[in-house]
Amino acid sequence: MKIGFNKVGSTAIPFELSKENLRFSGTLEKFSRSLIELEAKITGELSIPCDLCAEEIIKSLDESVKFRLSDGIYKDDDHEHEIVEIENSMIDLDEILNSEIELFKSNYFCCKNCQN
């Protein structure tokens, strides 16, 4: 799902998309002239391999995500919030969801058999 950066205004726009057993839902709202705030939840189940034996682990997700989107390179020293730079004035929610899933998968996971 793609949304044009200039289509987001000061009234929150709700969104929802699904991928496999995950649901990504939240809102997009203009934060300032050059920033949009994304606030969302990722819920559902994700299959991840054990880092020791590669056995499948099913992890339940209930993660909140909140960051700001910039149309192009962000030129400010505000390090209080995470800024995600988007390209071509299009917010690609599928790409954002995929990035969040990969970030979660990059953690260390160990199945019950390997924990003992």
pLDDT digits (tens, 9 = 90+) for 74-106: 766 655 567 888 888 899 999 999 999 999 999
pLDDT digits (tens, 9 = 90+) for 6-23: 889 889 999 999 998 999
CA 6 from centre of chain: 20
Q: Name the pTM for this structure.
A: 0.82
- Find the Cα–Cα–Cα–Cα dihedral 83, 15, 106, 110, rounded to 10°: 140
Of residues 64, 63, 67, 91, the one with CA closest to residue 78: 67
List, in sequence order, the alpha helices (H) in 17-115: 93-105, 112-115
Q: What residues have CB less than 8 Å from 100, skipping those under 6 apart?
A: 24, 42, 63, 65
